[in-house]
Amino acid sequence: MGLRTTTAVALLALSATPLFAQSKSDVLGTYANIAQAGYEDSFITAQRLKDAVEALISTPSPEALQAAKTAWLAARVPYQQTEVYRFGNPIVDDWEGKVNAWPLDEGLIDYVDASYGGETDENQLAVLNVIANPTFTLGGEEVDAAQITPALLEGQLHEAGAVESNVAIGYHAIEFLLWGQDLNGTAYGAGDRPWTDYATGDTCSNGNCDRRGEYLKAATDLLASDLEWMAGQWAEGGAAREAVLADENTGIHAILTGMGSLSYGEQAGERMKLGVMLNDPEEEHDCFSDNTHNSHYYDGLGVRNVYLGEYMRVDGSVVSGPSLSDLVAKADAGVDAELRDRLDVTMVELGQIKTAAETGFSYDMMLERGNAEGEALIMSAVDALVGQTRVIERAVTALGVDTIAFEGSDSLDDPNAVFQ
Amino acid sequence: MRAFLAATFCFAAAPAFAGIDEVIESHVLPGTEAFAEATTALASAATDDCTAQNLRDPYHTAFDSWLGISHLRLGPIEEEGRGLAISFWPDTRGLVGRTAAGLVADEDPVVESPEAFAEVSIAGRGLLALERLLFEDDLAGYSADSYSCALAQAIAGDLARMAGEIDREWQDSFAASLRSAGAGGNSFFLSEREAAQALYTALVTGLDFVADQRLGRPMGTFEAPKPLVAEARRSGRSLRNVGMSLEALRELAQTLADHPIPETEAAFAAALERAEQLDDPVFAGVASPSGRLRVEALRTLVSEIASAAAKEIAPELGVSVGFNSADGD
């Protein structure tokens, strides 16, 4: 939603256009190449997760559960770096809820602890527990869930009752199925689902192990196919790549919108500051696995990647090319230097959270009421993200792209689109 | 107001953004002062007699005055997350009810120290946590020597503290920072345009919030309207919040613009008139198709205000909408 434009300084934008015409299209090419590589890597690592999940279901064991968890953690690394593509690219934003919706009322999916509570004002399905219930009522209609299939999860359960926290699919639903609820509050420790939740016969714990396995497999299959689809959108001739390349100024504007909206409203605000202010460990972005420090770190790295035009793939190879930084430097070297600095400062701050979490001071501990060190760690990163957003705004102004998007943009063609 | 606008227009040779001064003097500072006074009155009422019955009137006055400034999500209200702590809504995970009831059930001694209470989850502080104590049937019957009484006093005192900080910080530093935009030594606003853009962004974001959240959330979808999530429905304030917020945003638009803005004024008047006629104080009507349609019509009118402002105010100031804290999903 960021950087909506008005008819304000349309003339400025026109005069800026011809100057950088060639290099803008090169920059957009790099942007699309990084997106393609990032989603391909996300697909590759989701395939590995799928293999590990199949092994867990066919031969359940503590090691097989651990292997699936390890595969999930690895899969998050490339995916989080693609989040910067969400805002500013409608194709990504419209699809994103299928793979990374959060937070979730996990009682929709499986058993939960009594402390979780029941239905709320917002969600009357918060404790539906589809794994334990082969039939249930949804919006007055009987639903047959005897078979847990991708179609059931995607078509009927996901966002059931138009409630966003009814998240039935994607990384976080899978995370819950692998780790289970984190019942340690703001003390150290992640979810501790027993491997026997996937065992057969008498060894099965908490009931319905076969249905739980069916659910996990369906959700993992869907995740992989959704990621494969998005990688295709960014390949040569794909719709997302074409959309970005269609108009140079609109494309550049999309890059900056993605950077600014993720940095400020989404990451600094919704994900980090709110968690501190609620002292709520469920406000961790990867709350079941206690992987939030990595989730934040790789979000930040993704913003830096698209500005500097460089992404390191999961096989260690590097995708790079002419960058937005080059463009901004030509327009205003001071703004470019400051933005590079700010992005580096953010990575240092996010790196400190990661370091602390990896050495025993986990993210949920940082959220504890009155924990001054944790609050300082998180709020320093929030401040860095807010600070970089202000310079991203200056880059928008320096490039004169703050007003072009209204040519064929949602906000002019359909005034109501602004409010969606 | 109109006379003043005409007068400023004559001094077109003066600063490019005379509106910034006008916003500060006629909109922000009176608003932060009124909110500080109203929350101080609420806190002192709570000290005298903390029962729900005694606090409902000063509660409404405090909430009313909050709506005069709640859209100013820059500077002191954004600092330390005060805006979120004063009014944590939307509450998509039902945390306010759980946290307020949890504090009462545990008789958490944190209420004894204002410093410690300031660290409590925002779901247990602010206007919406207090609303549970004052208006929810199974909580509001508390007596003067109960834990709930001490909690109501703690919340009221915490609100007064934050309101005082907001008022002082605006007076002491942030107003000067906006006024000196572009001057040497001002590292926050590097140009007058940045200051004007920040205020314009607050206007548009505030209108978005009314349309998308205050009206949009209870509307839900046609198949699944969600009347229970209406803002402050327990105190019967949902529609009142829309009206008062629109009035405050109109004042911001009028003060920010250096010239007449007839289309924007007309759009505000149309939306306010519709809100007044709605006769659906907590949007319970969204549960029926015809009731939902009436709320939707109001939402459309609010959207039209932003379109008018984009045409009339933004070009004059030479600004666009910047990033804002509502950019997330």
Q: Are A67 and A340 spatial neighbours (Cβ–Cβ below 8 Å)?
A: no
Report the Cα B248 to chain-centroid distance in Å.
Answer: 9
Chain A CB contacts of B194 below 8 Å: 393
pLDDT at A376 over 80: yes
Find, in chain B, the residue whose alpha carbon is nearest to that of A116. B98
Q: What is the pLDDT of residue A191?
A: 93
Taking 3-state DSSP, the helix, strand and coil percentages for chain B, each rounded to the nearest 5, stand at 70, 0, 30
Structural domain boundaries, residue A84: 10-104+167-419
The answer to whether residue A160 sits within a structural domain is no
Q: Are B251 and B29 spatial neighbours (Cβ–Cβ below 8 Å)?
A: no
Query: What's the CATH code of the domain at A41?
Result: 1.20.1420.20
How far apart are alpha carbons A111 and B291 in whole angstroms?
38
pLDDT at A316 over 90: yes
Q: What is the pLDDT of residue B6?
A: 37
Both tokens of B230, joined, read: 């209406």
Q: For B92-142, what is each residue's pLDDT tens digit?
A: 888 999 899 999 999 999 999 999 999 999 999 999 999 999 999 989 999
Nearest to B81 among A120, A277, A403 (CB): A277
Lowest-pLDDT choice from A40-44, A230-234, B4-8, B66-70: B4-8
Contacts of residue B235, Cβ cutoff 8 Å, sequence gap at least 6: B56, B59, B60, B63, B131, B134, B135
Distances (CA, A) of A1 to B118, B253, B323: 32, 21, 8
**Which residue type occupies A362?**
S
Mark out the alpha helices in B14-146 (DSSP H runs): 18-23, 29-48, 52-67, 82-86, 95-106, 114-117, 126-135, 137-140
Contacts of residue B308, Cβ cutoff 8 Å, sequence gap at least 6: B261, B263, B264, B266, B267
How far apart are alpha carbons A202 and A190 in whole angstroms?
26
pLDDT at B39 over 90: yes
The answer to whether residue A112 sits within a structural domain is no
The answer to whether residue A278 sits within a structural domain is yes
How far apart are alpha carbons A167 and A183 in whole angstroms?
20
Which of B148, B131, B172 minimizes the C-alpha distance to B29? B172
How far apart are alpha carbons B186 and A174 in whole angstroms?
49
Q: For B254-283, what is each residue's pLDDT tens digit?
A: 999 989 999 999 999 999 999 999 999 999
Both tokens of A377, joined, read: 């760690």
* Other Cβ atoms closer than 10 A to A15: 10
**Which residue type occupies A256?**
L
Q: Does B224 contact A139 at a Cβ distance shorter than 8 Å?
A: yes
Q: Does B229 contact A121 at a Cβ distance shorter than 8 Å?
A: yes
Residue with tokens 């709605």: B278
How far apart are alpha carbons B125 and B117 in whole angstroms?
8
Contacts of residue B60, Cβ cutoff 8 Å, sequence gap at least 6: B235, B237
The answer to whether residue A129 sits within a structural domain is no
How far apart are alpha carbons B281 and B248 in whole angstroms?
19
Residue B102 at interface with chain A, using a CB cutoff of 8 Å = no
Both tokens of B92, joined, read: 């998509």
| 3-class secondary structure, B254 | helix
Q: Which residues pair with A138 in a beta bridge?
A: A141
The answer to whether residue A356 sits within a structural domain is yes
The answer to whether residue A5 sits within a structural domain is no
Q: What is the pLDDT of residue A305?
A: 98
Q: Are A369 and B109 spatial neighbours (Cβ–Cβ below 8 Å)?
A: no
Q: What is the pLDDT of residue B288?
A: 96
Chain B CB contacts of A161 below 8 Å: 224
Q: For A42-59, what is each residue's pLDDT tens digit?
A: 999 999 999 999 999 999
**Which residue type occupies B196?**
A
Residue B116 at interface with chain A, using a CB cutoff of 8 Å = yes
Q: For A290-311, what is each residue's pLDDT tens digit?
A: 999 999 999 999 999 999 999 9
The predicted model gives B210-223 an average pLDDT of 95
How far apart are alpha carbons A384 and A344 in whole angstroms?
9
How far apart are alpha carbons A323 and A303 in whole angstroms?
12
The answer to whether residue A186 sits within a structural domain is yes
How far apart are alpha carbons B90 and B87 in whole angstroms?
9
Domains and CATH numbers, chain B: 20-179 (1.20.1420.20), 189-317 (1.20.120)
Q: Which residues pair with A142 in a beta bridge?
A: A137
Helix (H) or strand (E) holding A194: none
pLDDT at A253 over 70: yes
Q: Does B85 contact A277 at a Cβ distance shorter than 8 Å?
A: yes
Find, in chain B, the residue whose alpha carbon is nearest to that of A117. B98
Distances (CA, A) of A2 to A260, A374, B156, B323: 7, 29, 35, 5
Q: How many domains does the structure of chain A reveal?
A: 1
pLDDT band, very low/low/confident/very high, at A403 (cuts 50, 70, 90):
low
Dmax over Cα atoms in chain A, in whole Å? 74
Q: For A158-182, what is each residue's pLDDT tens digit?
A: 999 888 889 999 999 999 999 999 9
pLDDT at A210 over 80: yes
Find, in chain B, the residue whose alpha carbon is nearest to that of A417. B303
Q: For B165-197, what is each residue's pLDDT tens digit?
A: 999 999 999 999 999 999 988 989 999 999 999
What is the end-to-end Cα distance of chain A in Å, rounded? 8
Q: For A101-121, what is each residue's pLDDT tens digit?
A: 988 999 999 999 988 888 877
Q: What is the ipTM of this complex?
A: 0.85
pLDDT band, very low/low/confident/very high, at B329 (cuts 50, 70, 90):
low
The answer to whether residue A294 sits within a structural domain is yes
How far apart are alpha carbons A124 and A105 in whole angstroms?
10
Q: How far is A323 from chain B (nearest CA, A)?
A: 22
Q: Which residues pair with A320 in a beta bridge?
A: A310
Q: How far is A279 from chain B (nearest CA, A)?
A: 5
Chain B CB contacts of A392 below 8 Å: 323
Both tokens of A378, joined, read: 């998180």
pLDDT at A283 over 90: no
SS (H, E, C) A268-306: HHHHHHHHHHHCCHHHCCCCCCCCHHHHHHHHHHHHHHH
Q: Does B327 contact A87 at a Cβ distance shorter than 8 Å?
A: yes
Q: What is the DSSP letter of A156?
A: I
Which of A147, A145, A151, A115 minimizes the C-alpha distance to A130? A145
